[in-house]
Structure 1
Amino acid sequence: MYYYKKYWLWLLAYIGLGLGALKLGYKIIALLLLAVFKLLGLDMSKCAIIIGKIQTFSIDWFNNLLAMLILTIGVLICWFFINSITGQLKRDIASRQLIKSLLRHVSSANIKLVAEEEKLANKWLKFGRIIRKRGKLMLKIPCGNNVSVVNIIMKRCDGYVNQWLAQNYPRKNWAPIEVKHGLFITWLYVREK
């Protein structure tokens, strides 16, 4: 849940904005229509019909978005409890701490190509995560498909990651870093022995 916080926070923000727009937008549009109809001297009964249809549309969509918000919050609460019980929430917070320590500040004084590769390495490192697979813990870091980015991430992780994992998970034994090449992406894995 913590790992995907950016996505569900954006979802909640969009739903909240939609609710606000439907609630306030209807009133603003109704006032504008009323003013335009009065200014142009048009038939006010047609204005009332249009405002009624806009109100019905606004109420229907407001109720739909409100139901979606309640459902989303319910799913997030369940997801939070499941992640808390399985320990994934704690692992995600630990992953975030490890990844922050692996990120590097890229100076603009560096050669442009090297700076771009360092920025790409920082971008891919942010997707690193400690998970449990088949009963064993594993740190997995995607590296894209650029060999120099893979080498940069390997240099950053070499020695430090295993030491950090051994310190934060003292009862576990960790294997050295493995490189797995997929079709479109290369992954770095550190598995529990």
Structure 2
Amino acid sequence: MKRIAIFASGSGSNFQAIVDSIKNGTLQVEVRLLVCDKLDAKVIKRAEKEGIPTFSFFPKSYESKKKYEEAILQVLQTYEVDWVILAGYMRLVGTTLLQAYEGKIVNIHPSLLPAFPGKDAIGQAFSASVKVTGVTVHFVDAGMDTGPIIDQEAIKIDSLDTYESLQAKIQVIEHELYPKTIQALVMGGNIHEK
């Protein structure tokens, strides 16, 4: 069984969706570790409740990104992590982790990339008055949301949608698409880069 580490910075709804998919048997991986860059993030409480070890760190206490990524890498190696799954991790992954886990770091983003990369993709979609947005699962490279796309699912933006209602619709899709895509990836399944 493949061993994953989940990187998150916030509430951890995708973290929980992954854990729940493992519990219900639709995702066959072992979550070895949560990595979190916010010492007060809600996701840490979720990990504690699930009995999942946490490595939380304060980036500014390190002299450089390279230094904190070296610390993360050491912990990942200690826990024998095979895959890194980003789930609301609000930092660009640097060279240290990209080289160590080449082709094994995956992210989920709340838009149909390449549209609306970066922060607040939902707000960007509203500002652009698009009729369709969605969710993208992609491999991570050195850019911001620029890695090869693994899978996507579109969501229609209705005229009555608010930021909150669209976010809720996107999270429903994320919580189904991400575990399914992770399962296909770790099993070497039939997911093709788009």
TM-score of the pair, normalised by structure 1:
0.24
Higher helix share: 1
Report the structure number with the largest CA radius of gyration.
1
TM-score of the pair, normalised by structure 2:
0.24
